[in-house]
């Protein structure tokens, strides 16, 4: 018969405020197997833990139930206490009577106390069947993968590389730089974005420890912390990058016209293109979908021979290339190349995208003079479609009146309920840049609230007001097109308590920040869930903001939620230091809460093999019969196999059938 | 029918003579009229035992799991569908199996005859031109074949083998749509009515487990019904609730695997309607996962497929 000790925590008022702790203690005392039950103000404090240790040392108990807060944060502490007392640390069970009881049932003290009793009874029932388990250690591959080559990903990669670890940086576009490379200036100091970003891009491109995999995407992730196997698809560039010097001769020769993504579709690029002038690596790629196959030079075919000159007939891009990097006779694999990487940790920094203007029919998205703030950013940039000249798209005239509309798609239950956080500041910044250069332009900003929390942000706001930028509080109802490329902005001014109308030459929509496309799919490949808003979920908002529910995978930047550049960089550097911990230790402890197959009863149907997300299960032959076998090093203890096994012969240690049935029985009785 | 029998015998003889297989599993004449029995032929001279007819209802896939020897099997549509699922579940080594596919014209339900004859003993039976001639002491009845076929066969969507190495006979026409009227009737019941129905049907169950043994897909090394740690069920069949529980779990274990061959239903000595249960599951799996068991070797069963990969 086990001798169970139950320890009930007041958690100050957190638990005791709703639960009658003494009543629960008395109840616990008479549960089967329980030899003592104590309560204490803070079980996690030193004296609290000492209670447990003393009882174990005195030989009173051999199983421990702690009824307190969440095991997510506190299980390690209590396991340590149990171990220090001299018991196997897995002989501990926690009942979460705070998050699952006192907090949600704060108004119902009696009900909360009853529920606490149930939760304690359930934990005690399970504790009777707990078995001692031994930790395992897994060697760590001392390399890291960073997904996303924006400012977050680059800083994360640089920090890890500077610590001496091998880093693979995967970026889906041909160049690193991300969204920040598109920006003109950055708040709150108005640094030129390219000027501060380019040196970082160069460092990333030249660092001996960083292997840059641009124009590549993560295809699959297997394994677990310390030993991830990642398949990365290097998309086909149709250019020999070893020979390409980035001179741009081929680009000049190409006759095709394709909307330029880097300039937010406001001008055209070629089908063969270099993403932007400061691109790292500065290499050309062929957008095969839009390639015109000039001179019938379909990739992988031999050129026709000119009947008179006897010379091969080449496409303009080939002719222009002096190094032979552009060779359309080569048989390129359209699928690109699939490479496999072995890494110990992974950082996801896939960034964001801004919403298009199209969904906002009330703001006349069909008008060329209604643009998104990101498009204005490109107009203001020296490398943009207007070479930095302030020209409105319809006729290239300099606008006399500009209206900004905030919270377009953010804080709007039709689209996103969250605040995109950076819009207030970037609108102020864009307005200020224009106003400083052209004081005669009238600028109006329509706000719901001006949110300028952050270092030096409020000062920035006041400065902008003093420049003569006008702020109007109230949501814009509509933007109408007027003759002469004019636009009418109709809003309700909350301060005046009256509707207002304004005629403008250019309307700028501060569209919402959204998760990068296919983020959810990437998350699924790695086993990380997204929140309802679509951004990746951190393990704990406050305490583990860069960790995810998957050990060894970390997040940085806007993949987690809207952020400005300083925050993204801080988080990237935090993620890199967290990701370096397993690499530095060289081994990771893997909890023994893993699955085991009862080989005698296994009929070898292979259902578990196909379902295991960690590829930890294989079929092996023993005495002429097939059985499934679980690789302990790879098993993450998710329990999918145990649930799916048609014969029910897989046991998940720490959550065995016996333990769970005992819990259910206790809850139901 | 005799042509098919001859072709089966010849094929079996060649396979055995050429040592392509060690044993042929087929059907032999049974000891009762219109009734055939599974038969294992190992010697080329014994192939005369093999026959084909309207009494070959057993699902022979049941004899193919984890066989050490090379084996050939005479397989109807439903047998081949079971074989497909068993190959996917690693229970049959495709390389050691020769499938002699025979399109199935439907099999005669002896229980329907027994009901029809109402106590009179059948001594001789013959099928001719879509009519069944039943003879006994002082009676001779002629019944249309359709009235005597198994309900399973009347509903069958896949009478032709879905997988075979050798095909004997001409493919038979296929019905267009699956008919689930019995299941729909069941679904229309209120929860209370369903419960009453279960109580009624399964109060007759004697827990002989014939349904389990007859099913080619029931092959756990240890069945939950026999398990004592934990003991899920009482051993006695007097407890109807446990009988219901046994059937519910048996059917759930067949999700995405049951090919509706009707073996369980035929095996039940108490005449419990097991097919409505299994077919409800078949229908649910089709509707929820777009999956029909035993059609394609390369299609993952829903139980073994991550959610994202199901249609």
- Same topology, domains A236-335 and A595-653? Answer is yes
pLDDT at B310: 42
For A550-561, how does the pLDDT look when each residue is reduced to its tens digit (9 = 90+)? 889 999 999 999
Q: What is the pLDDT of residue B309?
A: 46
Contact residues for A545 (Cβ-Cβ < 8 A; gap 6+): A538, A560, A571, A574
Residue B307 confidence (pLDDT): 55
* Average pLDDT of every residue of chain A: 94
C-alpha span between B82 and A303 (Å, rounded): 56
Closest residue to B303, CB basis, from A604, A607, A613: A607
User: Looking at domain A143-235+341-350+525-587, which of 3.40.640.10, 3.30.530.20, 3.50.50.60, 1.10.10.10 is its CATH number?
Assistant: 3.50.50.60
What CATH topology corresponds to A236-335? Answer: Alpha-Beta Plaits (3.30.70)
CB contacts < 8 A, A to B, total: 47
Q: Does B119 touch chain A (CB under 8 A)?
A: no
| Chain A residues whose beta carbon lies within 8 Å of the beta carbon of residue B233 | none
Average pLDDT over residues A592-604: 91
Output the six-digit token pair for A334: 């359209």
A611/B90 CB distance under 8 A = no
Residues 43 through 102 of chain B touching chain A, CB cutoff 8 Å: 66, 68, 89-91
Model confidence at A449: pLDDT above 50: yes
Q: Could you tell me if B174 and B89 are in contact, meaning their C-beta atoms sit under 8 angstroms apart?
A: no
**CB < 8 Å to A647, chain B:** 220-222
Nearest to A91 by CA among A152, A163, A14, A4: A4
B166 touches B11 (CB < 8 A): yes
Question: Whole-angstrom Cα distance, residue B274 to residue B267?
Answer: 10
- Within B90-181, strands assigned E span 97-101, 124-128, 131-136, 139-144, 166-167
What ipTM did this prediction achieve?
A: 0.79
**Closest chain B CA to residue A625:** B66
Task: Tell me the CA end-to-end span of chain B in Å, nearest whole number.
Answer: 41
Residues of A in contact with B66 (CB under 8 A): 625
- Residue A612 pLDDT: 87
By the 8 A CB rule, do A129 and A658 touch? Answer: yes
Residue with tokens 């590389």: A161
Q: Which CATH number applies to A4-127: 2.60.34, 3.40.50, 3.30.70, 1.20.120?
A: 3.40.50
Measured between alpha carbons, how far is B38 from B61 in angstroms, rounded to an integer? 11
What average pLDDT score do residues A26-55 get? 96
Q: Is A600 within 8 Å of B221 when comparing Cβ atoms?
A: yes
Residues from chain B that touch A613, judged by Cβ atoms under 8 A, are 306
Q: Are A80 and A56 in contact (CB under 8 A)?
A: no
What confidence tier does A562 reach under pLDDT thresholds 50, 70, 90?
very high
| Chain A residues close to B91, C-beta within 8 Å | 603-605
Tens digit of each residue's pLDDT (9 = 90 or more) over A266-314: 999 999 999 999 999 999 999 999 999 999 999 999 999 998 998 999 9
Largest Cα–Cα distance of chain B, in whole Å?
Answer: 65
Residues 272-301 of B with CB under 8 A from A: 300-301
Contact B89 A619 (CB under 8 A): no
What is the residue whose two structure tokens read 């920090």?
A: A159
> Is the alpha carbon torsion for A463, A468, A469, A472 positive or negative?
positive
Q: A116-128: b or e for each residue (b if 16 or more CB lie within 10 Å)?
A: bbbbbbbbbbbbb
Cα four-point dihedral sign A22, A27, A28, A30: positive
CA separation, residue B203 to residues A120, A349, B70, B226, B235 (Å): 40, 61, 43, 20, 15
Q: Which residues of B touch A606 (CB under 8 A)?
A: 89-90, 304
Interface test with B, best of A606, A617, A646 (most B CBs within 10 A): A646
What's the mean pLDDT in A27-55?
Answer: 96
Spell out the alpha helix ranges (H) of A207-325. Answer: 249-253, 316-320
3 state SS of A124:
helix
Of A155-159, A244-248, B228-232, minimum mean pLDDT range: B228-232
A624–B90: do the CB atoms touch at under 8 Å?
Answer: no
Looking at residue A512, the DSSP 8-state letter turns out to be: P
Calculate mean pLDDT across residues A623-629.
Answer: 87
Q: How far is the alpha carbon of B242 from chain A, nearest alpha carbon, in Å?
A: 18
B230 Cα to chain A: minimum distance (Å): 8
Rounded to the nearest angstrom, the minimum Cα separation between A611 and chain B is 6
Q: Residues B68, B93: contact at Cβ < 8 Å?
A: no
Q: Does domain A353-514 have CATH number 3.50.50.60?
A: yes
Distance from the A131 Cα atom to the nearest Cα atom in chain B, whole angstroms: 17
Residue of A nearest to B88 (CA): A605
User: Is residue A496 classed as helix, strand or coil in its secondary structure?
Assistant: coil
Task: Assign domain A595-653 to its CATH architecture.
Answer: 2-Layer Sandwich (3.30)
For residue B191, the distance in angstroms to the closest alpha carbon of chain A comes to 23
Q: How far is A606 from chain B (nearest CA, A)?
A: 6
Nearest to A611 among B91, B224, B306 (CB): B306
Above 90 in pLDDT, residue A614? no
B306 vs A626: CB contact, 8 Å cut-off? no
pLDDT of residue A438: 95
**What is the separation, in whole angstroms, between the first and last Cα of chain A?**
21
Read off the pLDDT of each residue in A330-354 and give the average, rounded to a whole number: 96
**Residue ranges covered by each domain of chain A:** 4-127, 143-235+341-350+525-587, 236-335, 353-514, 595-653
With contacts defined as CB-CB under 8 Å, which chain A residues touch B230?
657-658, 661
Residues in A whose CB is inside 8 Å of some CB of B read: 524, 600-607, 610-611, 613, 619, 624-626, 644, 646-649, 657-658, 661
Alpha carbons A404 and A455: distance in angstroms, whole number:
23
How confident is the model over A444-465, as a mean pLDDT?
94
Q: Rounded to two decimals, what is the model's pTM? A: 0.69
**Which pLDDT score, from 0 to 100, does residue A334 have?**
94
> Does the distance separating the beta carbons of B306 and A603 come in below 8 Å?
no
State percent of chain A over pLDDT 90: 88
Tens digits of pLDDT across chain B (311 residues): 789 999 999 999 999 999 999 999 999 999 999 999 999 999 999 999 999 999 999 999 999 998 999 999 999 999 999 999 999 999 999 999 999 999 999 999 999 999 999 989 999 999 988 899 999 998 999 999 999 999 989 889 899 999 999 999 999 988 777 788 889 999 999 999 999 999 999 999 999 999 999 999 999 988 999 988 778 888 888 999 999 999 999 999 999 999 999 999 999 999 999 999 999 999 999 999 889 999 999 988 888 776 554 44
Q: Which of B68, B220, B306 sits opposite A647 (nearest CB)?
A: B220
Question: With contacts defined as CB-CB under 8 Å, which chain A residues touch B219?
Answer: 603
Per-residue confidence (pLDDT) for residue A136, from 0 to 100: 83
User: For the residues of A394-406, what is the DSSP string, one character each?
Assistant: TT-PPPSEEEEEE
């Amino acid at each position: 018969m086990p001798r169970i000790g139950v320890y009930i925590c007041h958690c100050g008022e957190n638990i005791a405020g709703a639960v009658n702790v003494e009543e629960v203690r008395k109840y616990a005392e008479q549960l089967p197997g329980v030899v003592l039950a104590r309560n204490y103000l803070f079980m996690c404090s030193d004296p609290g833990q000492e209670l447990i240790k003393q009882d174990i040392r005195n030989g009173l108990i051999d199983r421990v139930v702690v009824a307190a807060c969440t095991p997510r944060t506190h299980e390690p502490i209590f396991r340590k206490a149990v171990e220090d007392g001299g018991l196997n640390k897995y002989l501990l069970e926690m009942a979460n009577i705070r998050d699952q009881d006192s907090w949600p049932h704060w108004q119902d003290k009696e009900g909360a106390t009853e529920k606490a009793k149930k939760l304690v009874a359930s934990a005690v029932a399970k504790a009777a069947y707990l078995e001692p388990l031994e930790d395992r250690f897994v060697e760590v591959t001392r390399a890291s993968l960073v997904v996303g080559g924006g400012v977050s990903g680059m800083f994360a990669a640089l920090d890890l590389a500077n610590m001496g670890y091998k880093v693979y940086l995967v970026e889906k576009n041909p160049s690193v730089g991300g969204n920040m490379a598109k920006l003109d200036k950055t708040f709150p100091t108005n640094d030129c974005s390219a000027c501060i970003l380019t040196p970082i891009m160069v460092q990333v491109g030249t660092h001996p420890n960083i292997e840059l995999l641009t124009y590549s995407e993560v295809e699959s992730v297997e394994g677990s912390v310390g030993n991830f196997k990642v398949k990365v698809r290097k998309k086909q560039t149709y250019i020999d990058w070893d020979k390409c010097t980035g001179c741009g001769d081929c680009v000049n020769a190409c006759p095709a016209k394709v909307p330029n993504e880097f300039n937010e579709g406001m001008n055209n690029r070629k089908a063969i293109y270099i993403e932007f002038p400061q691109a790292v690596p500065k290499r050309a790629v062929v957008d095969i979908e839009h390639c015109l196959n000039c001179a019938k030079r379909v990739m992988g075919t031999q050129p026709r021979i000119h009947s008179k000159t006897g010379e091969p007939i080449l496409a303009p891009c080939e002719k222009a290339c002096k190094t032979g990097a552009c060779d359309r006779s080569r048989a390129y694999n359209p699928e690109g190349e699939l490479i496999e990487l072995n890494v110990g940790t992974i950082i996801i920094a896939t960034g964001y995208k801004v919403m298009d203007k199209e969904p906002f029919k009330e703001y006349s998205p069909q008008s060329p003079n209604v643009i998104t703030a990101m498009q204005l950013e490109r107009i203001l940039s020296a490398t943009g479609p207007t070479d930095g000249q302030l020209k409105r798209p319809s006729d290239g005239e300099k606008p006399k009146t500009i209206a900004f509309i905030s919270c377009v798609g953010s804080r709007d239950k039709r689209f996103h309920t969250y605040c995109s956080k950076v819009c207030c500041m970037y609108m102020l910044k864009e307005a200020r840049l224009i106003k400083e250069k052209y004081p005669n332009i009238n600028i109006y900003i329509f706000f719901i609230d001006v949110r300028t929390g952050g270092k030096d942000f409020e000062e920035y706001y006041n400065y902008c007001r003093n420049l003569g930028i006008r702020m109007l509080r109230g949501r814009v109802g509509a933007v109408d097109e007027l003759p002469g490329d004019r636009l009418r902005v109709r809003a309700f001014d909350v301060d005046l308590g009256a509707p207002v109308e304004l005629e403008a030459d250019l309307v700028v929509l501060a569209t919402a920040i959204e998760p990068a496309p296919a983020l959810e799919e990437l998350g699924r490949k790695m086993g990380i869930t997204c929140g309802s808003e679509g951004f990746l979920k951190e393990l704990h908002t406050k305490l583990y903001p860069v960790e995810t529910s998957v050990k060894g995978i970390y997040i940085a930047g806007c993949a987690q939620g809207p952020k400005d550049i300083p925050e993204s960089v801080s988080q990237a550097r935090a993620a890199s230091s967290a990701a370096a911990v397993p690499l530095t230790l060289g081994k990771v402890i893997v909890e023994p809460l893993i699955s085991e197959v009862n080989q005698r009863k296994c009929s070898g149907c292979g259902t578990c093999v196909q379902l295991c997300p960690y590829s930890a299960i294989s079929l092996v032959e023993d005495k002429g019969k097939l059985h499934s076998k679980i690789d302990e090093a790879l098993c993450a203890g998710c329990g999918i196999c145990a649930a799916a096994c048609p014969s029910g012969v897989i046991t998940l240690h720490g959550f065995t059938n016996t333990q769970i049935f005992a819990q259910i029985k206790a809850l139901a009785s | 029918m005799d042509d098919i029998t001859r072709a089966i015998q010849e094929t079996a003889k060649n396979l055995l003579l050429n040592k392509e297989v060690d044993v042929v599993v087929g059907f032999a004449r049974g000891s009762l009229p219109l009734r055939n029995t599974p038969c294992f032929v190992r010697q080329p001279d014994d192939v005369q035992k093999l026959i084909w007819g309207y009494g070959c209802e057993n699902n022979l896939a049941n004899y193919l799991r984890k066989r050490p020897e090379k084996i050939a099997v005479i397989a109807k549509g439903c047998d081949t569908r079971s074989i497909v699922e068993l190959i996917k579940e690693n229970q049959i080594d495709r390389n050691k199996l020769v499938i002699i596919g025979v399109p199935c014209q439907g099999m005669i339900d002896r229980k329907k005859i027994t009901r029809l004859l109402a106590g009179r003993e059948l001594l001789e039976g013959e099928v001719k031109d879509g009519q069944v001639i039943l003879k006994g002491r002082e009676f001779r009845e002629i019944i249309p074949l359709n009235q005597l076929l198994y309900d399973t066969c009347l509903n069958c969507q896949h009478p032709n083998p879905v997988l075979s190495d050798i095909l004997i006979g001409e493919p038979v026409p296929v019905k267009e749509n699956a008919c689930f009227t019995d299941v729909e009737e069941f679904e229309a019941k209120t929860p209370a009515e369903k419960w009453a129905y279960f109580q009624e049907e399964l109060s007759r169950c004697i827990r002989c487990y014939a349904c389990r043994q007859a099913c080619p897909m029931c092959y756990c090394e240890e069945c939950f019904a026999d398990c004592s740690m934990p003991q899920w069920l009482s051993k006695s069949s007097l407890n109807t609730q446990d009988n219901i529980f046994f059937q519910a779990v048996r059917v759930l274990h067949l999700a995405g695997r049951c090919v509706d061959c009707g073996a369980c239903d035929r095996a039940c000595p108490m005449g419990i309607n097991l097919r409505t249960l299994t077919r409800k599951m078949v229908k649910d799996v089709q509707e929820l996962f777009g999956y029909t068991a035993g059609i394609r070797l390369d299609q993952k069963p829903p139980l073994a497929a991550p959610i994202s990969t199901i249609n």
